[in-house]
Structure 1
Amino acid sequence: MSDPYLLHIFSPTKYVSPFDINMAYEANFDAVIPYCNIELEEVPALTQDTIFSRRPAGVKRTGIFIGGRDLDTALDMMEAARKAMVPPFEVSVFADPSGAITTAAAMVAIAERWLQAEFQCGLSGCQIFVFGGTGPVGTCVALLGALCQAEVSIVSHQGAAAAQLVAARCSQRYDLQFNGVDGSTAGAVTAIMARAQVIFNTAKAGIQMVAADQLSAALHLRVAADANAVPPSGIAGIAAAERRVQLDTAGGVAIGVGALAIGDIKYRVHTRLLAQMYQAPTPVFLAYREAFAMARQIVAEQA
């Protein structure tokens, strides 16, 4: 085969996700080559082995995907790969550790759509609370919310200290404001629901973070998005298949969105970004900004 389309997957974990491999083949790459237990310092050499081993026609048909489990590590690896390029030997790079970036992009774009359609407002100035916000999906949701000028609070079931640690790290890295909030007790969650306008659940699957009585007591809630597809739902009243469910609260009706609806947009974002890599005449570098722009486009097409 002359000049095949090749995708190299760099992961700092002991294995590369089968999901990422399957998606790459569905995007028509001829071969997908996984690399496990990669350390940040190894990325420049691996990148240069990738680019210098192909002739000009072949290098245009080559890409690097950054996987793993940690958002900051993936972004650091992407930047290391970018800096290792030597024009005209350059390839496209896409970072999406554990699907965190594309999932977060889908969640925030969907929430934004319902705010605009049902409440005639956007994310700017909204009080956003991210349950499970210390994990990769939650951290990226918080980042996208902050970029939209929302007031973002990262919630941890391990307590305020854990949430504040992650919030401080994000604030320093991204030069944006994040708050850390306790979500370790029923009383703490009830206090959150008295303030929240938008909530996202990105916590561990199969754990309910917001109970029915806490949800019904919400005073200002407009949109709730739950990424948990494993029963019980992470937010009471939102089944995984729900694309738009009305939630009755003390402050009025809010809109709920379930995990499968989020997953549908996430899948489309992931697929289209891989297609961009495959089709791009010049290298593209794809991370949270590009994923969010794509998610907004897809959500708008479905409106």
Structure 2
Amino acid sequence: MTTPPLSDPQEVIGKQWSKHQSPEQARILGLARDALRFVPATGQRYRFEDFRKSLKSGAHPPPGTFEQPRNDFASLEERMNSTKGFFTKLRNETDSAVEKELIQVILDTLHFISSTGQHSAFREYLEHIEAGAPPYAIASFDTKEAAEAWLRNQPIPPDSANVLIANNYHSIIHDQEAGIFRLPRIHDLEYYLAELKHDEPPVAAASFATLEQADAWLRAQPEPARWAWVSVAGEIYLAVYHPNIHHRALYPLSMATGYEVEPDEP
């Protein structure tokens, strides 16, 4: 069974979105949207396809290596169940075979997250999105060689996720059939910095004389904010915290030069 691109079911969500919708419907549609983004953001496209094949065949889903749901995930599980109920009703009411299939992908995505016990990872991803944090990354390495060695040792190498190599963003492109992968440098962070500068004009939360002092400050905090503007020797930096990979970094705002956001029309 071939899974449609996970961007396709977003059209179904978009059709349901309304200016006058209830807060509950907004939460339901938002959760479905983010669940569809979670799978590629965490590099699980192939794992998800195998999961859907197991559902089609009636076999048990492939065993995962994730934590089991805990009591503190009850609220998230309740939200996911409400979302499943909403889209199950929508699937049963539509006469379009194409729409039924796209809705089924949404339902299978939610089932995938629940049955593989990824509540903690999904909740962390939702917090990341809600915080307006920098692009999501699943691992950090000092060198490209270290990243490649890590990929070779994965039972199912991730696909389409981002990793940090020397604090630069790279995308994992994995061809499972050919057994090859690439790690091209991407500029999502530069675009993010430009948009953040436009939406949240820099106001430094702290000032430092040197980059070493700023780095020591960032590393000394038990759990810093996902992002914060700081000043280093008069230059603005973005202090970033990736709790999922226990990584902290400082990025100069000057990286956004050439990626500026067009000003809004007056």
Bin of the TM-score, shorter chain as denominator length: under 0.3
TM-score (norm 1): 0.25
TM-score (norm 2): 0.28
